[in-house]
Amino acid sequence: MNIDLSRRSFLKLFGAGAAATSLGAMGFGAAEAAVAAHVRQFKLATTTETRNICTYCSVACGIVMYSRGDLNAGEKAELIHIEGDADHPTNRGTLCPKGAALKDYVRAETRLTQPRYRAPGADRFQEISWDEALDKIARALKDDRDANLIEKNAAGTTVNRWTSTGFLAASATTNETAWLTYKTVRSMGIVGFDNQARV
């Protein structure tokens, strides 16, 4: 009754099945792939790598993002995995519990995908087009600036100070975003301008 397990039957158990019998014919590769299927398929094969920097803290660990699809080739890129960049001098491939889970931040269920508007007194958001949203903002800025900009102080000095509109800037955006934000905000005369350095 004892089963005498030959390598053949062993392989069979491992899922190779008929494929193993024609191993010679198929050559290395497909048959082996079938055999090896029990070690989980390596999920990063044929993905596109992109170098990035962790968005969380200012250790600024190097990361490698793996996506299906290549943005540079004009394709839609779906992020499937992120891990530390072993070439990076600071983190040498390591990541903390936040960084190691970055993919699930990018793909969080609570990511926003559509501009939304909340009317005064409403108890919910409604979707709104970008055009409408941007026009609303520009209008509100224009109206408030025209109404409240302090062009000159009591001494008659031009001060171009606008205090009734304020701007809190993101601290995880790039320098380039920061510079563009700076330009636009300062050109308007906004002084209620701050970032996350304090909190």
Shortest Å distance, C-beta 21 to another protein: 15
- Give residue 120's identity as a one-letter amino acid code: P
- The DSSP 8-state label assigned to residue 71 in this structure reads G
Shortest Å distance, C-beta 132 to another protein: 9
Reduced to 3 states, what is the DSSP secondary structure of residue 33? helix
Sign of the four-CA dihedral 84, 87, 90, 92: positive
Kind of pairing between the strands at 78-84 and 62-68: antiparallel
In whole angstroms, give the CA distance from residue 59 to residue 54.
Answer: 8
> Which residue bears the tokens 């001098």?
89
Reduced to 3 states, what is the DSSP secondary structure of residue 192? strand
Shortest Å distance, C-beta 34 to another protein: 10
Shortest Å distance, C-beta 22 to another protein: 14
With residue 81 as reference, give the H or E element that holds it: strand 78-84
List the structure tokens of 132. 């409408």
Shortest Å distance, C-beta 152 to another protein: 9
